Amino acid sequence: MIDNVFVPSFGNKPKNLVGREAILNRLYNGINSVPGSREKAQLILGQRGLGKTVLLLMLAEEARKQGMIVASPTVVSGNMIDRIIEKLNDEGGKFIDKKSKISGGNVSVLGFGAGIQVSEETSFPKSSEQRLVELCRLFNSKGHSVLLLVDEVQANQESLKQLIVTYQELVGEGADISLVMAGLPGSVSAVLNDHVLTFLNRASKLELEPLNLNDINIYYRKVFKELGIELTDKMIDDATSMTGGSPYLMQLIGHYITIAANDKGKLDKTDYQKSLDNALDDYKNDICQTSIAPLSDRDIEFLTAMAEDENESEISEIAERLGCTSSFAQTYKRRLLQAGLIEQHRRGKVRFAVPYLAEYINSGKI
Ligand SMILES: Nc1ncnc2c1ncn2[C@@H]1O[C@H](COP(=O)(O)OP(=O)(O)OP(=O)(O)O)[C@@H](O)[C@H]1O
Ligand SMILES: [Mg+2]
């Protein structure tokens, strides 16, 4: 069958959002809180494929409905502030009457399309930060609050620092502006410069958990029924538990099952099994491999030592396997906890936080 339901890729809006109501509510409430409140700066943290970008996109959609001017998710990069200005201009232009003026500025950025006239009086160009400030003031003066969405927050990017400083200045003058960011758990690490770190630590944090398996099961049942794909209860239950709560794997499994079904919605056991295998291969490639890629050799040795254990690992035993002191092992434990690859289970014990990572490591493909 042709699949037009499942979308196993990154940074796209799924056809149907599974779960996440509570977290979306918190995000909505945050951006609707009074100007200047702490909840207006929020940080979504979650491992790869857990749906950070999707949440930013959903929030953007809702905020637009409420009349906010939204800068759609911008990935942290060198010219991030200019990109944000372009997006705000593009979106907000229709709300601004032609006579509104933003004095000064870089004509190539502020002058295009959108109905905003740029006064020619000023002879020197203004900084990107200043143009962002003036644009926000302008939208606020027309009764629109502003929402900035920043994706893939990374350590030590100068442009993130500039954006944060500008946001804080705007908050200081009482502007109605929100800043919602998303990144991997390791993006808020001690290597960040103090200013950015302090800001991110004070922002309201939302840590993404895997999806609830029950929600996935209900979704699979509904969607496969609608598609006319015949699966036994056991097939659906097995597919559900195989997702491990990963939205990305949920999309992959759904996709491979759908394209394996014939035009009458039937697929035999072999095709079903092959669909699950294909999905898992893609998942390991896209999630496990990319999670491990930035790690140091020592981090990987730590994870490899952990992967020998069935479910949870004792730090003292890991240290023994690595032939290092417990306090040395604790340093690596902290780094991997921060990166979101492992989690504290019970006192002194850790386990993998990314589904199938242990299996991937044990497969010897790294
Ligand atoms: N709640 C959800 N319901 C249904 N599908 C979802 C949900 N969350 C994410 N997805 C799907 O999972 C995939 C990954 O989502 P997304 O790109 O938002 O992840 P991410 O956390 O931003 O990943 P990365 O860290 O790689 O940027 C996409 O195909 C998306 O459609
Ligand atoms: Mg993303």
> Would you say the CB of residue 186 lies under 6 angstroms from ligand 1?
no
| Predicted pLDDT at 124 | 67
Count CB neighbours of 136 within 10 A.
26
The separation between CA 104 and the C-alpha centre of its own chain, rounded to angstroms, equals: 36
CATH of domain 21-207: 3.40.50.300
Residue 259 CA to ligand 2 center (angstroms) comes to 25
Instruction: Return the ligand number nearest the Cα of 73.
Output: 2
| 37-90 pLDDT, tens digit each | 999 999 999 988 999 999 999 999 999 999 999 999 999 888 899 999 999 999
Identify the weakest region by mean pLDDT among 28-32, 107-111, 163-167: 107-111
What is the atom index within ligand 1 of the atom nearest the CA of 50?
21
| Predicted pLDDT at 184 | 86
Q: Which residues pair with 262 in a beta bridge?
A: none
> Would you say the CB of residue 247 lies under 6 angstroms from ligand 1?
yes
Per-residue pLDDT at 117 exceeds 60:
no
What residue owns the CA closest to ligand 1's atom 13? 248
Q: What are the helix and strand counts (H, E) for the chain?
A: 16, 10
The band of 110, judged by pLDDT with boundaries at 50, 70 and 90, is: very low
What is the atom index within ligand 1 of the atom nearest the CA of 7?
29
Per-residue pLDDT at 190 exceeds 80:
no
Between 191 and 338, the higher pLDDT residue:
338
Most distant CA pair in the chain, distance:
73
> Would you say the CB of residue 355 lies under 6 angstroms from ligand 1?
no
Mean pLDDT of the chain: 88
> Would you say the CB of residue 50 lies under 6 angstroms from ligand 1?
yes
The answer to whether 184 and 103 have CB atoms below 8 angstroms apart is no
CATH of domain 297-362: 1.10.10.10
> Would you say the CB of residue 11 lies under 6 angstroms from ligand 1?
yes
- Write down the domain spans for the chain: 21-207, 213-291, 297-362
Residue 216 CA to ligand 1 center (angstroms) comes to 14
Residue range 214-218: mean pLDDT, rounded: 98
> Would you say the CB of residue 210 lies under 6 angstroms from ligand 1?
no
Strand residue runs (E) in 127-176: 146-151
Per-residue pLDDT at 155 exceeds 70:
no
Which residue's entry shows tokens 């950015």? Answer: 196
Tokens describing residue 7: 């979308």
φ, ψ for residue 241, nearest 5 deg: -70, -25
| Predicted pLDDT at 111 | 41
Per-residue pLDDT at 193 exceeds 70:
no
Write b or e for each residue in 188-198: b if 16 or more Cβ atoms lie within 10 A of its Cβ, otherwise e.
bbeebeeebbe
| Predicted pLDDT at 218 | 98
Instruction: Return the ligand number nearest the Cα of 15.
Output: 1
What residue owns the CA closest to ligand 1's atom 24? 48
- Which conformational region is residue 340 in: left (phi greater than 0), alpha (psi within -120 to 50 degrees), or beta? left
Got the DSSP string for 290-320?
HHHTTS-HHHHHHHHHHTTSSS-EEHHHHHH
pTM: 0.88
What is the atom index within ligand 1 of the atom nearest the CA of 55?
18
| 293-342 pLDDT, tens digit each | 989 999 999 999 999 999 899 999 999 999 999 899 999 998 898 888 99
φ, ψ for residue 78, nearest 5 deg: -55, -45
What residue owns the CA closest to ligand 1's atom 23? 49
Q: In what order do the strands lie in the sheet with 313-314?
A: 313-314, 349-352, 342-344
Residue 183 CA to ligand 2 center (angstroms) comes to 8
d(CA 14, CA 8): 9
Per-residue pLDDT at 244 exceeds 90:
yes
CA–CA distances in Å: residue 297 to residues 78, 144, 303, 337:
29, 50, 10, 16
Which residue's entry shows tokens 């496990």? Answer: 288
Residue range 33-37: mean pLDDT, rounded: 93
d(CA 325, CA 312): 19
